[in-house]
Amino acid sequence: QFFSREMNIRAVERHDLETALRLALDRDEFLLHYQPQVDIATGRIVGVEALLRWQHPRKGIVFPSMFMDVAEETGLIDAIGLWVLRAACTQNRAWQDAGLPPLRMGVNISARQFDQPREFAKSVNRVLSSTGLDPAWLELEMTESVLWKTAEESIQVLRRLGKNGTRIAVDDFGTGYSSLSYLRAFPVDIIKVDQSFVSGLGKDPEDSAIVEAVVRMGQALRLQTVAEGVETAHHLIELRELDCDIAQGYHFARPAPADAVTPMLRAGRDWFKRA
């Protein structure tokens, strides 16, 4: 009697989703889409971000916002996250083996996956050695909520991964706890300016000011800055003006399956030159 009817329905739905996610793992229904990241100075693709999709047998493509909460609450994210890491590293290695210019591969990591940092690092190392991917081409994207818990153990683990060349990016920068001390404590290499600020570039003076402040801070701390959600040429012009390093967004390409991204990598074109 503590549950309202609505809550009960929600609980049932969650339970169904959990069952469906387990099945999805068994049936290999997950896949990755890749979104190019473009170097603003050269116009070349220098990396991609791996984004999880679920090819549902009836519903079609399901986005992470529909299932990530349940995956995290139930702990299924550990198995799913490992699958993502392996698939992303395998794909990156395959592109390199095909003779394409090497790319950084961004992989999103949830807080839960990093609960046991040592176990996490072991998985990363295992995946790197089994796929034969040089750690320098792997980038782990973590949100501020993962990094702000300044536990000594996690710092050590990230340092060690960093020594091997793997980079750490702070995802959705500016939307989390606004505690900047983790930038000092953790071996962070990259900050990704959240798309909610980028979308107001040139329109909303406050958003523009925030993007500028984040990019300047990144430069001062010698971190690379990536702008997320770059949707228009106008955004890009503003970002170039600010000397932001890398841009990612629909203006260049939507996330797409590897087959669709390969020709873009092969063309190796300068994104800013008119064809």
Q: To the nearest whole angstrom, how small is the minimum distance from the Cβ of residue 229 to Mg ion? A: 8
Which residue, 79 or 98, is less far from ligand C2E as judged by CB? 79
C-beta of 257 vs 268, nearer to Mg ion? 257
* Number of residues binding to Mg ion, judged by CB under 5 A: 5
Q: Which tokens belong to 109?
A: 């990591």
220-239 residues in contact with ligand C2E (CB under 6 A) are: 228-231
| CA–CA distance, 156 with 186 (Å, rounded to integer) | 9
Tell me how far the alpha carbon of residue 78 is from its chain's centroid. 16
Q: Which of residues 4-33 bind ligand C2E (CB under 6 A)?
A: none
Inter-CA distances, 91 with 25, 47, 75, 88, 163, Å: 19, 12, 25, 5, 23
Span of 4-12, 74-82, 91-99, 133-141 interacting with Mg ion by CB under 5 A: 133-141
Burial letters 174-187, b for 16+ CB under 10 A, else e? bebeeeeebbeebe
Touching Mg ion, residues 97-126 (CB under 5 A): 108
Segment 167-196, which members bind Mg ion (CB under 5 A)? 171-172
| Structure-block tokens of residue 159 | 């340092």
In the complex, which residues of this chain contact ligand C2E (CB under 6 A)? 35, 51-52, 63-65, 68, 81, 84, 108-110, 141, 171-172, 195, 228-231, 249-250, 255
